[in-house]
Chain A
Amino acid sequence: MASIKLDNLGKIYPGGSRAVGGVKLDIADGEFIVLVGPSGCGKSTLLRMVAGLESITEGEVRIGDRVVNKVEPADRDIAMVFQNYALYPHMSVRQNLAYGLKNRRTPKAEITRRVDEAAAILQIGPFLDRKPRALSGGQRQRVAMGRAIVREPAAFLFDEPLSNLDAKLRVAMRLEIKDLQKRLRTTSIYVTHDQLEAMTLADRLVVLNAGQVEQIGTPLDVYRRPASTFVAGFIGSPAMNLIPARAVPHLPGSAHAAVIGIRPEDLVPDPDGPIEMQVGAIEELGAQRLVHGKVNGADVTIALPSHGELSDRLRLNAAPEALHRFDDKSGKRLD
């Protein structure tokens, strides 16, 4: 186990396109870090630089107290779980798990012990002698995790490991990964573009946008105090309303800020409220209903309990502490 330190890490691909720039991050021993961001923002690139699969063009990566910029992936003491699992198709599950250990000359008895232990943890014991082809997607995913566990590495690196699973299994595996990491206390970096996964798994979230870090913080911090309009729009579902301040002149603070952010659930009906909303489309989600509409020309979505009649005009109010104020040009949070 080890801490990981990224110092001004950057990547310029041959050809000159910049994928990642100036990433500074201190990961404590045993911490679960989730990298989250939209497609193409450089999450995989960043992770692969830590793994050693991608060369580092700027800055440095430290694992433990060692700079590993030039160290081969196998010698970095990390284990990686790939999106498509990347199991060796011609080897049985047992051989898949044992292959890395065999290559580092682990004694046979020790290999057997670790494989059996991992199999027990992940409940893949019954499949140990099958080929990956004969497993379901979820079982393959477990094997891929098993391959990481048996290494007993200093850090786990996950690149969207659950994105090939169906929704239900994804939730179950999410909990299991969290559990597992708690139990093993292995430093982990987890890449996902699913913000729900990010919120539930992370000790700390790193929100990336176009190769730059937008915000680092615990999931609740990031949710409660998004550092920019980008984070505000990305974390939370349904997404936070970002309303031009001049559309809601009666809200406190709208004189200084350019953009006011309000989460849909924070906008509540109130006959005396200062905001008037013209109701448009309605989405019934069962537990709640999402009401889309316009406030002085700006698009707004609110989440209401799923009962009662709706008129086509609603008066709304929001508590002052539920308002987020952002600068116009930089999109940065103002307070």
Chain B
Amino acid sequence: MIENRPGLNILAHLVLILGVVIVALPVWVAFVASTRSATDFMSGTVPMWPGPHLVENYARMLDSGVSTSGTPPVARMMFNSLVMALSIAIGKIAISILSAFAIVYFRFPLRGLAFWCIFVTLMLPVEVRIVPTFQVVAGLGLLNSYAGLSVPLIASATATFLFRQVFLTMPDELVEAARIDGAGPMKFFRDILLPLSRTNMAALFVILFIYGWNQYLWPLLITTDAQYYTIVAGIKRMADAVDGLPQWHLVMATAVLAMLPPVAVVIGMQKLFVKGLVETEK
């Protein structure tokens, strides 16, 4: 539907601008705060323009961090988050594409049961099973480890269904042509299914990377060793200054830093991402 009424146009733009302001303003405030010094916040008014301490604040956070809050340098926490987000994204894609492959292309005994088991995990995200999962992870001695951070979040089914859907849209003749061309199951998977699901994998990667990066409750729970703190959980710890005021300029610098990798992933994979969501190239 294409309408061309100026009144409607202006209204639409007003709504959009309002939306942008609502989203962008807090980010701006965080950025401004991260360029100020600690004393700028004592007055009670929030500054709206950047100050002169940008380089100083960021260098300090990346390098040493706020030692009083018990958090390691931000660089360390970002590295931890990166490992966690990448493991979750890659692990989940690998597991779900393989299980979708099995479910769609093979007739094995108890296939129905396997399907339902995967289906049930949809209803059990980490937050629901957090206590028993903690118990299991602790029992396996995985507290304070990258495996403990990522493995429990990898095991879930959402992505399996996405790939199942993708595979179901592949024409049967393609499978048959490959069979006649002498491609066994794994060859078919590698040479045909994987390349054809490339854009879907990219879209999923973006979503899962951000999902993993933004994990909060689970890392907070299972990391007690500062060496394994992730950045999102770390911000919380920094803001919780026990004695005295939180160092807002430093907390905000950390927050701005924490935003960068997801933004980079989205921008870097934007083209593939959009393709994967809207295009069916079969």
Residues of A within 8 A of B (CB): 51-53, 72-75, 78-80, 82-90, 99-100, 103-104, 133, 147
Contact = CB atoms under 8 A, between A and B. Distances in A.
Contacts of B181: 74, 99-100, 103, 147
Contact of B174 (A53, A86, A103): A86
Report the 4 A-B pairs with minimum CB-CB distance, sorted nearest first: A86-B173, A100-B181, A74-B182, A103-B182
B62 interface: no
14 contacts: A51-B176, A52-B180, A53-B180, A74-B183, A84-B171, A89-B281, A89-B282, A90-B192, A90-B198, A99-B191, A100-B182, A103-B182, A103-B183, A133-B281
B196 interface: yes
Contacts of A53: 176, 179-180
B180 A51 contact: yes
Contacts of B180: 51-53, 73-74, 78-80, 100
B187 interface: yes
A86 B176 contact: yes
Contacts of A133: 281
Contacts of B198: 90
B177 interface: yes
B196 A89 contact: yes
B125 interface: no
Mostly, the B contact residues are: helix
Interface of B: 171, 173-174, 176-183, 187, 191-192, 195-196, 198, 281-282
A86 B171 contact: yes
A90 B181 CA distance: 16
Contacts of A84: 171, 173
Contacts of A87: 177
A51 B177 CA distance: 11
A255 B177 CA distance: 55
Nearest to A99: B181
A260 B183 CA distance: 54
Contacts of B182: 74-75, 100, 103-104
Nearest to A133: B281
A90 B174 CA distance: 12
A88 B176 contact: no
Given A90-B281, A104-B182, 7 more contacts: A51-B180, A53-B179, A73-B176, A73-B179, A74-B182, A82-B176, A89-B281
Given A89-B282, A90-B196, A99-B191, A82 B173 contact: yes
A216 B183 CA distance: 36
> Which of B178, B182, B183, B198 has most A Cβ within 10 Å?
B182
A73 B173 CA distance: 13
Contacts of A83: 173
Nearest to A88: B192
A154 to B, nearest CB: 13
Nearest to A51: B180
A313 B177 CA distance: 57
Given A99-B191, A103-B187, A133-B281, A88 B179 contact: no
Nearest to A144: B177
B94 to A, nearest CB: 20
A137 to B, nearest CB: 15
Contacts of A147: 177, 181
Contacts of B178: 88
A53 B282 CA distance: 22
B33 to A, nearest CB: 48
Nearest to A159: B173
A231 to B, nearest CB: 30
B177 A80 contact: yes
Nearest to B180: A73
Contacts of B171: 84, 86
B48 to A, nearest CB: 51
> Which of A52, A74, A75, A147 has most B Cβ within 10 Å?
A74
A51 B181 CA distance: 12
Contacts of B177: 80, 82, 86-88, 147
A103 B187 CA distance: 9
Nearest to A54: B176
B199 to A, nearest CB: 11
A89 B103 CA distance: 23
A114 to B, nearest CB: 14
Contacts of B176: 51, 53, 73, 80, 82, 86
A99 B196 CA distance: 16
Contacts of A73: 176, 179-180
A79 B176 CA distance: 11
Contacts of A85: 173
